[in-house]
Amino acid sequence: MDKKRWKMTISGKVQGVYYRASTEEEARRLGLCGYARNLPDGRVEVIAEGSPEELRQLHQWCLEGPPAAKVTDIEVEEQRANGEFHNFGVRY
């Protein structure tokens, strides 16, 4: 299985609504590695590595996020997977 790496930048009401922690739970459920972190401009950055199908499923989840979130846009950039992550976590 070829692993892929996606960098997703999520815009909208995504900080202070449990978005990072919820993303961590979903990514771990899917078996992905990487992290979610808040950006200074109010967006959330998600770096995830895994199979293309797992990444598509996380992307679909990120379109909604947790109940209090209001996602307005997601930018996706495919990058080369390098296996640097061993699990998925939240970065502060």
Point out the residues that are catalytic.
20, 38
How far apart are alpha carbons 90 and 20 in whole angstroms?
6
Strand order in the sheet with 33-38: 70-79, 4-13, 44-50, 33-38, 88-91
